[in-house]
Structure 1
Amino acid sequence: MTDDVLFETRGAIGLITLNRPQALNALNRPMCLAIHAQLDKWRDDAAVKAVVIQGSGDRAFCAGGDVVGLYHAGKSGSDEWEGFFHDEYRMNHAIATYPKPYVALIDGITMGGGVGLSIHAPYRVATERTLFAMPETGIGLIPDVGGSHALPRLPGELGAYLGLTGARLKGVDAEYAGIATHYVPSDKLPKLIEELAEGDPVDQVLADFDTDTEEPPLVANRPAIDRHFTGDSVEGIIASLDGGNDWAKEQAATLRKMSPTSCKLTLRTLREGAKLDIAGALQNEYRVVCAIKQGSDFFEGVRAQLVDKDRNPKWVPATLAEVSDAEVNRYFEAPAGGDLRF
C-alpha cells in the first residue's frame, strides 16, 4: 500500500484522504491501486454505509495524474504508461459503478485525474475554493478518466467547451454546469463529514448543508457556448467562434494554441462517449492514450508546460488541416497489448 492515500472507517463512512498536499494530491499508480482495493473491501463491509473522498491541505482535491512521471515513463519506453492508465481507468469504473453512496468533496483544484475520482460519483460537493478544469488538449492528451462519458452529459454544449478549451470553473459554475451536485462552504466540510458518519441518509445530510449561491458567471456565456460548440468538426467550431462576439473570439484563439491532434481526438471521443456507457467510454479512451504514447504531442506539451516551462509547444502536425481523418482513425484501433478489461 502507500502513504500517499489514507483510509479510515469513521462511524458509518469509509473516508479516503488523498495525502500528497505538496503535489496538490496528484494521483500516481499506487494510489489508484490502493483506492480500488479499498473500495472493494468497503463494498462488502456492512458497517460502511457510504464512502467519502477528500484531499489533504487547503489547495487541492486532486490536481490530476502524475503527468511528469508519465512523460519520463513514455520517453523511456516503459510499460508504466499503459499500466498507469489501465489501473486508473479500472478505478474510475469502480467508482462509477459503486453500489454504495460515494461523496466527493471537490474542495480546491480538481483537474484531470481528480475529475475521474469525483465526476462519476452520485454526490459531488463544490466549495468557494473549487477550481475545475480538464486542460488536456494543452498538453497533447485528451480529457480521459471517463471524461468522454461525463462531459457530453452536461447541459447543452458545456462538455465540448470544457473539453476543448480547458476552461477553468469556480465552484458556483461547477454546480451550474452539473459537475457538482451540491455547494457547501469549505469551513463546513468537517461538520458535513461528522454528520455523514452518523449514518443518516446521504441525500438528507447533503440537502441540509447545501448553500445557495449567486448567479454563476457561466450563465452569461451559455447561449454562445451552445451556439458555437456544436457539430463534429473542430474547424467548424473555430469558424463559428471567429464570427462571434469578443468572448467567442477569445475561445477561438485559445483553441488555436492547443494540440490540433488532441482537439480532433477530444471532439471525437466526446461525441462517441455520448452514446457509450462508462465502460465503453473508458475502453475508447484507453485505445487513444495508448496510441498517444507513439506520437510526440504529449511529450512536447508536458515539456513546454511542466518541464522546461517555456509555454511554447511545437505541435506535430501543427495545424488542424494536417490532421487527417485517417490519422484520427488510427488512434481508435485496439492497442497491441489488448483492450481495457474490467
Structure 2
Amino acid sequence: MYSLIKLKQATLPLLRRTMSSQEPDVLFEALNNAGIVTLNRPKALNSLNTSMVSKLLPQLQEWEKSKSLVIIKGAGEKAFCAGGDVKAAIDKIEGPRFFHTEYNVNFLIGNYKIPYIAFINGITMGGGLGLSVHGRYRVATEKTLIAMPETKIGLFPDVGGSFFLPRLQVNLGLYLGLTGDRLKGKDVVKAGIATHFVPSKRLYELEMLLSRCANDIEVNSLLNKFHEPSEDFSLASNIKHINYCFAASTVEEIIERLEKVQNEWSVKTLETLHQMCPGSLKITLRALQRGAQLDLGQCLQMEYRLACRATENHDFPEGVRALLIDKDNKPQWNPKSLAEADDEYVESYFKRLPKDKELKFFDSKL
C-alpha cells in the first residue's frame, strides 16, 4: 500500500506535465474588438482535423454576434494551414463527419456578417484556403505559398473550390485546380486569392491595430494603409495560353491545346497533368464547370456528395496511401486512364445522397 501511494505521488507531477504540454489544437482569444483564432498544430503545419473544425464552428458563430471582427492565423513560421488531415479523411465514417463540419465552417465564413481577416502567412493549401478565401479579407506575405493539390491524391479541390476557382480571372482557377500549381507571395494577390499583401514582420502590428477597429470601414482603411501593391504576375507571359487551353470543355481537349502551344510552360503543365489521378481530373473539371453557375452553399453540397463518394471509392484512399502513408509515389489508379474515366463513372460521383445523408447547414432556413 505504501509503495502504491509513493508511486502515485511520483507519477502525479509527470501526469500534470504531460497534460499541460498538450496544448489545444486551436486557440481562441478575445482582444479588444476582435476575436483571434490561432490554428495550433505547427508540427503538422496546422492541418485541420475534426476536433479543430468542431471547435471553430460554435466559436465563430458566437463571435459573429459579439465582436466587431475576427482574425484567423496559424501558429509557427511555416504555415497558415497546409490542408485537411487526409489520413483521417479517407475513413468511411470519420471522413464524411469531418467534411460535414468543415464545409459548415466554410459556409459560415462565406456568409460572415462581420469582417473576417485571414493572415495566410506561409503554406496555405486545400482546407487552409477553405478557411481563408471565402472571408472578406485575405492578407498574403512574402512567405505565402498557396495550392489546391487534390488531383494528385485522388481527390478534387473541395472546401468551396468549385465556387472560388471558376471565378478567378482568365481560367486561372481551372488551371490551378487541375494542375495543383503553386503561387507565392504577391502572385497570390495578383491571382485574386488574397486581397492584400503585407510583409510578415508587420503582421503583429497590423493585428494589434485591427483589434481596435470598430467597423468594416476602419478595417478596410487600415488594411489599405499596410498593403504593398504587387509587381508583375509570374504567370503573365502564359496567361493567354492558360486562358485558351483551360477554356476547353474536356480534359482531353485541354491536353490537345497544351500540345499545340509547345513552350516550356506547356511541356511542364502536360507532365504535371499526366502525374495526376485521371478520375480526379475528370471529376474536378466537371465540378468547376458546374460550380461556376452555383452559389457557395450549392457548391459545398455538391462537393459533399463528391467527398463522400471519394471515401467509398478506390482512388482517394489509394492516393493518400501512395503519397502520404507508404510514400512509394506509385499510386495504382482505377480508372487507369482518362478514356476509362468515362461519363458514367464521373456522373456516379455527382448523384444525390440519400436525403438523411445530404449536407445540411447549421441554419435550418436553408
TM-score between the two structures when normalised by the length of structure 2: 0.89
Where structure 1 has 5 or more consecutive residues not aligned to the other structure, the ranges are: none
2:173 aligned partner, one-letter code: G
TM-superposed deviation, 1:303: 1.1
Where structure 2 has 5 or more consecutive residues not aligned to the other structure, the ranges are: 1-22, 362-366
Matched pairs, number: 334
**Are 1:93 and 2:107 an aligned pair?**
yes
2: distance between equivalents of 1:186 and 1:103? 15
Structure with larger Rg: 2
Q: Secondary structure at the match of 1:6?
A: strand
TM-superposed deviation, 1:250: 1.4
2: distance between equivalents of 1:284 and 1:165? 21
Assess if the C-alpha contact under 8 Å between 2:88 and 2:94 holds in 1: no
Q: Secondary structure at the match of 2:28?
A: strand
**Are 1:30 and 2:51 an aligned pair?**
yes
Specify the alignment match of 1:165 in structure 2. 179
**Are 1:229 and 2:256 an aligned pair?**
no
Q: Which moved more, 1:18-27 or 1:223-232?
A: 223-232
**Are 1:202 and 2:219 an aligned pair?**
yes
2: distance between equivalents of 1:57 and 1:178? 25
TM-superposed deviation, 1:330: 0.7
Choose from 137, 154, 163 the match for 1:123. Answer: 137
Specify the alignment match of 1:10 in structure 2. 31
Choose from 199, 207, 217 the match for 1:185. Answer: 199
Assess if the C-alpha contact under 8 Å between 2:89 and 2:96 holds in 1: no
1: distance between equivalents of 2:310 and 2:94? 14
**Are 1:109 and 2:90 an aligned pair?**
no
TM-superposed deviation, 1:309: 1.0
TM-superposed deviation, 1:231: 2.6
2: distance between equivalents of 1:243 and 1:340? 42
Assess if the C-alpha contact under 8 Å between 1:53 and 1:104 holds in 2: yes
Alignment of 1:256-275 (within 5 A): 256-275=274-293
2: distance between equivalents of 1:264 and 1:257? 14
Choose from 74, 84, 99 the match for 1:65. Answer: 84
2: distance between equivalents of 1:325 and 1:34? 39
Alignment of 1:277-316 (within 5 A): 277-316=295-334
2:336 aligned partner, one-letter code: A
TM-superposed deviation, 1:335: 2.2
**Are 1:240 and 2:261 an aligned pair?**
no
2:103 aligned partner, one-letter code: Y
Q: Secondary structure at the match of 2:38?
A: strand
2: distance between equivalents of 1:233 and 1:255? 13
TM-superposed deviation, 1:257: 1.0
Q: Which moved more, 1:290-299 or 1:114-123?
A: 290-299
1:254 aligned partner, one-letter code: T
TM-superposed deviation, 1:269: 0.6
1: distance between equivalents of 2:133 and 2:329? 29
Assess if the C-alpha contact under 8 Å between 1:131 and 1:171 holds in 2: yes
Choose from 340, 345, 349 the match for 1:322. Answer: 340
Specify the alignment match of 1:42 in structure 2. 63
TM-superposed deviation, 1:212: 2.5
2:138 aligned partner, one-letter code: R
1:138 aligned partner, one-letter code: K
**Are 1:84 and 2:94 an aligned pair?**
no
1: distance between equivalents of 2:30 and 2:346? 46
Q: Secondary structure at the match of 1:156?
A: helix
2: distance between equivalents of 1:11 and 1:270? 40
